[in-house]
Structure 1
């Protein structure tokens, strides 16, 4: 049973499930609404790579924010979100029998990899190391069947943010073994404590076989429009476009016009939401520590963390039932290749909801402590 189904069952049983979210859910401002209204009266250009205006806006932002020079005509493809982009990349670049090296804990990449006919080879990171990626352990997992390394940068669900030295080490490993590097960078804007996101693409001069997939749902608050993009070498973009043409022809012009307005217009409405996330993270991390549960690894990025809930039950099912009784719906750690004593919590909700979360965790721990033998 999925997390959503378990939460729905709890709601049916009369338990109020807390509305925990990750990415901000924001009303569209006037300039985005106007762009959408105007788009409905314009012809559909049906460009399979995406609207030129949107690709140009993305390329300009990559250059401004990260110093990356990306040709918008040859190296960018607009997709129906990051998951669609990942699916296109993996099914285009992999073949049955290939292996993909994946550091864990990690997002739900398993199905995407297996749909391509390949097999994931998971390389665990350790909580005691702050969930940091270990390049030596990653390289030791490579076999003659290895075809690619798949990263989540920043990492979902741990909030680990690899630094430049770590990214460089991964790229050098890929170069030595002639592997493709694929990186899901959907949460790149959510970084804390003065830390900075390091794009893998910045090391393309060391090894050019790099593909970056990004969602426009997170910082840009465009989740309902389902848009993302892929940055890759021209030959890969050409192959991805051919597959996209057969599967979907192109992405809708109205969502793309909304994205253009979002990327090129005022950002104050986005930055206000983003500026609250470090405080939200601290509220939840401090609250978990005060609840009696083990201190979590404080995420350096993202909108989620892994919480050790081993004190709430003897088995993952016990932990899940305890949390749901207190209105907390989570993703089980084992579902993200994390320890099965852990769960993923998101902290993008309002402070009122997050305070309710902390109080519920405290109550859950107190009740579990009274019945523990």
Structure 2
């Protein structure tokens, strides 16, 4: 949100800030619109776990895509997006004084962990290793206070996509030390180069203490509706439900009906857009290198790339000012426990806008080269 604030200030100063996006923003197709109209005239069943039809659709999707057999009655809870799901999980499974092992760079998990009274224990990944998880570092971070390992799969902001062997190794570490594995899998559909997302849940036979939090905002283009879900063992879902009843009773039925229609209806309107993302990734990565910035690690998934902007300034504030002067609003690397020299750029916009982004990065680089390295 601070990125939005800085971009708004730049716009007030007369700078045309590029409207970069990550997940697609799409007009709802007719079958979703019809489901929404019908839902407005139907009673709200006020089921804290979520509409049975939506939970069943999620279970069917998990079996179809990953061969996972999930009991939607006992193991799924619908939430107001992934952020609320993460918050619910942290405040339910953690206690004051607990530690959560978090590979970095990573999404903004700090607040949810600290709101639960727990402390994050960060384990950095290295750019020279392609931002891969440091498995030895994860195990070395375990202490008597450790309660969970928190993953972002695929990783936001690096776009790193762990393979099955890596996910299995994390689960084995958790099993050896009696830890929960919590995974935010919101970008699971955005994978490139023929690679597949590996759900942590697929390894529940090795260690069942696994919680997955997911957003339907990304691939399903439901950001305006704020729908996500938690997949967890029944005792955790029971505890989450009790907490959710006091917080919000349930999610709104209209947004859930939109989600049901999206999951069970035609996917061509989604797949057409998703099919463009690999080309957009290649365009932005090649463009960054062409304008004289260090070539980034090419993301294996997601809609973002972590870019080394050390050529644009000596401090994060300097880099931010240069980019904003050229209408480029980014998330600063330090805010995601990445190197201070880096920023996160999103590449979900159309190719014309991405071309303009590359042009402006080139302008910024040339100006900085004129005044010094």
User: Normalised by the shorter chain, which TM-score bucket?
Assistant: over 0.9
Say what the alpha-carbon RMSD is for the aligned residues: 0.7
What do the CA deviations read for 1:325-352 (whole angstroms, capped 9, x no partner)? 1110000000000000000000001111
**Displacement, 1:114?**
0.1
SS at match of 1:103: strand
Match for residue 93 of structure 1?
Answer: 93
Q: Distance in 1 between matches of 2:65 and 2:3?
A: 36
Q: Distance in 1 between matches of 2:44 and 2:308?
A: 50
Q: Distance in 2 between matches of 1:78 and 1:3?
A: 29
Match for residue 71 of structure 1?
Answer: 71
What do the CA deviations read for 1:32-84 (whole angstroms, capped 9, x no partner)? 00000000111111111000000000000000000000000000000000000
**Displacement, 1:244?**
0.4
Q: Do structure 1's residue 365 and structure 2's residue 365 form an aligned pair?
A: yes
Match for residue 45 of structure 2?
Answer: 45
How do 1:101-250 residues align onto structure 2 when only pairs under 5 Å count?
Answer: 101-250=101-250
Q: Distance in 1 between matches of 2:29 and 2:4?
A: 30
Q: Do structure 1's residue 36 and structure 2's residue 14 form an aligned pair?
A: no
Match for residue 321 of structure 2?
Answer: 321
Q: Distance in 2 between matches of 1:53 and 1:254?
A: 13
**Displacement, 1:6?**
1.0
Q: Distance in 1 between matches of 2:331 and 2:321?
A: 12
Relative to the length of structure 1, the TM-score reads 0.99
Q: Distance in 2 between matches of 1:76 and 1:89?
A: 13
Q: Distance in 1 between matches of 2:5 and 2:60?
A: 42
Match for residue 350 of structure 2?
Answer: 350
**Which structure 1 residue ranges, 4+ long, deviate > 3 Å from structure 2?**
none
Q: Distance in 2 between matches of 1:2 and 1:341?
A: 18
**Displacement, 1:271?**
0.3
Question: Where does the alignment leave 5 or more consecutive residues of structure 1 unmatched?
Answer: none
SS at match of 2:306: strand
Greater shift, 332-341 or 1-10, is seen at 1-10
**Displacement, 1:314?**
1.0
**Displacement, 1:3?**
1.3
**Displacement, 1:134?**
1.4
Q: Distance in 2 between matches of 1:2 and 1:164?
A: 35
- Residue-pair matches, total: 373
Q: Distance in 2 between matches of 1:158 and 1:77?
A: 28
SS at match of 2:361: helix
Q: Distance in 2 between matches of 1:8 and 1:342?
A: 21
What do the CA deviations read for 1:282-341 (whole angstroms, capped 9, x no partner)? 010000000100000000000001000000011111111100011100000000000000
**Displacement, 1:2?**
1.7
Q: Distance in 1 between matches of 2:99 and 2:134?
A: 19
Q: Distance in 1 between matches of 2:143 and 2:120?
A: 12
Match for residue 289 of structure 2?
Answer: 289
SS at match of 1:150: strand
Match for residue 275 of structure 1?
Answer: 275
